[in-house]
Amino acid sequence: MSLAAADDCSAPSSPSSASSDDLAALLEAELRSKSSSSGDEEEEEDEEPSERVTKRPRIEELESLGEDAVPLSNAEADEEAVSLSGGGWGSCPPHPGFIRDMCIRCGQVKELDVAAGVAFGYIHKHLRLGHEEIARLRGVDLKKLFSNRKLYLVLDLDHTLLNSTRIIDLSAEEGYLLGQAETSKDNTDRSLFRLDSMHMLTKLRPFVRTFLKEVSVMFELYIYTMGEQSYALEMAKLLDPEGIYFSSRVISQADCTERHKKGLDVVLGAESAVVVLDDTEGVWAKHNDNLILMERYHYFASSLRPFGITRGSLAEAKMDESEPEGILFSILEVLKQAHKMFFDEAGVALSSKDVRQVLKSIRKRILGDCRVAFSRNIMAESHRFWRMAEQLGATCCRDVDPSVTHVIAMDASTEKARWAVKHDKFLVHPRWVEAANFLWKRQPEESYRVQGH
């Protein structure tokens, strides 16, 4: 979401209105016009904050803010510039936000408390918004999104949408990829990219282009990665070369407000309407209910080693995930279902709905008709497979009885495993639960037989 986009929803009372709506829109129009030319960036660094903010935005930028916005004449724009420099508006406590130390509404210069508000560096590197203004912008944008039947979708990059490796880290068996990347570089549909400026190879996950196209109809998309900004922007170009999905909504490590953690505080979207796709659960500790945990995409061998995985990579085997059976295809179906449940449920106001409750409801149905008994070391309620099965709707128990439908065991020699065989119950490996968790669908039990059974 952009400041201007949020403020399109309320028309100014007059061309020279001094509302924060108008100024946020004016500010962003100017920022966009300045960032569109790399030649202006060096000049920008040498200017004082007041010089940057008071430059008159281009009229065509203002006219693009929405059909309700009133474009300014040149004279009126000059009057706005004078106002922005501090002449005529006075103070406006609480200030809604700042570019460096200048209020975006009244132009007043103030020494900032760095702990106040939240920095939105991915919108503009010097922008900081107060909590009241963030709440206001989220509320305005939510109404606009709901009117377009959209929610928010925050997407991780590495292991979720793509996989990258340094060229020097390619294994001997993966060396053929360099030639493949070279011969396919003019193919617009290619999924393997050599990025010489970063000395890297990047492989897009199968089905990702179709995935982005279809989810963009239902969601406003953000990228959120723990990688550096330069890397995030380069990956965004590969995924969205025409800039139609993400716009400026690319959040990187430098934008995080907590070290090694991701948070929705830097996303200008209401938490009740945000879905997150990420392969790492721990970084979303405060927003676990928003999260759809992704099975990791390991295309390169160097991607496997940090996770202690010793098997060969997909690239070494000259294989890849299946598009129609891959994780992105499965998650797309879940997102379609969640979107439909959110917007099509009758008799409930959209403003009172919460997509987190919708996701929980969907998960509870996956193993909702299963009663599972765990064998040996998985018997503790705190074990991750136990908790995972409960989240998927299964009834978990320590002991077996005729109502048990599944016994989950690591091997077939345990007492419960033998009981399952004797009483013709499903005997499955814990991976059966894990697969259902990642694919959001009950998996065929015969594909997860316990070794020795």
Distances (CA, A) of 161 to 187, 196, 294: 20, 21, 10
Whether the per-residue pLDDT at 379 is higher than 80: the answer is: no
The Cβ of residue 221 has, within 10 Å, a number of other Cβ atoms equal to: 21
Q: Is 159 left (phi over 0), alpha (psi -120 to 50) or beta?
A: left
Per-residue pLDDT for 397 more than 70?
A: yes
Q: Determine the pLDDT at residue 115.
A: 64
Let me know: does 185 contact 194? Beta carbons within 8 Å.
yes
**Least confident piece of the model among 88-102, 135-149, 365-379:** 88-102
| pLDDT confidence band for 83 (50 / 70 / 90) | very low
Q: Average pLDDT in the 215-220 region?
A: 98
pLDDT at position 381 is 75
- pLDDT tens readout for residues 311-342: 999 999 999 999 988 899 999 999 999 999 99
49 vs 214, more confident: 214
379 Cβ contact partners less than 8 Å away, ≥ 6 residues apart: 386, 398
Question: pLDDT averaged over the chain?
Answer: 82
136 within 8 A of 127, measured Cβ to Cβ: no
Stronger pLDDT, 223 or 345, i.e. the higher one: 223
Confidence class for position 440, pLDDT limits 50, 70, 90: very high
Q: Is pLDDT at 305 greater than 50 in this prediction?
A: yes
Report the pLDDT value the prediction gives residue 277, as an integer from 0 to 100: 98
Please report, for residues 178, 187, 241, 345, the alpha-carbon distance to residue 182 in angstroms, rounded to integers and kept in the order given. Answer: 6, 10, 19, 50
Residues paired with residue 232 on neighbouring β-strands, in sequence order: none
10-57 pLDDT, tens digit per residue, is: 333 333 333 334 444 544 554 444 444 444 444 444 444 333 333 323
- Alpha-carbon gap, residue 287 to 282, rounded angstroms: 10
pLDDT of res. 112:
66
Strands 97-99 and 127-129, by their bridges, are antiparallel
Query: For 103-159, what is each residue's pLDDT tens digit?
Result: 888 888 877 666 678 999 999 888 999 999 999 999 999 999 999 999 999 999 999
DSSP string, 398-445: SS--TT--EEE-SSTTSHHHHHHHHTT-EEE-THHHHHHHHHTSPPPG
